[in-house]
Amino acid sequence: MEKSNAAQKEEKQASILELQARWNKIRIANLYDALDSMGYPNQCLDLGIRPLFPKQHLAGVAVTVRGSRDPRTPEDFKKEGGGVNYFQQLLECVFPGAVVVVETGG
């Protein structure tokens, strides 16, 4: 018997959350060294990026977003009725256990 799409999605989300719990237990220095020895050097965030609260940890599947300046003027934007709702599109891509990573170009 084939699983429904909802059942498949639930199963995938459960496995992602289990994997996320496992990642939370790994010392980041060990992970960094392992990636480096496997030929993936410099796989870390800028050292200037810090958690908001001490001892805060984060692990999950990254959903990446690249932002850019909208070339339209505010007047053009109003004429077009607001344009595309990018936030709504983003919400359709995320799931429990996902970590949204936004690159804003500076």
Confidence (pLDDT) at 38: 94
The CA–CA distances, whole Å, from 39 to 45, 51, 63, 85 equal: 17, 27, 23, 39
Residue with tokens 């459960």: 14
**Residue span of the structural domain in which 95 resides:** 5-103
Tell me the torsion sign for CA atoms 69, 72, 78, 84: negative
Number of folded domains that form the chain = 1
Confidence (pLDDT) at 83: 61
Q: What rounded mean pLDDT belongs to the chain?
A: 80
Residue 30, pLDDT > 70, answer yes
The CA–CA distances, whole Å, from 26 to 8, 34, 61, 102, 105 equal: 28, 11, 15, 24, 30
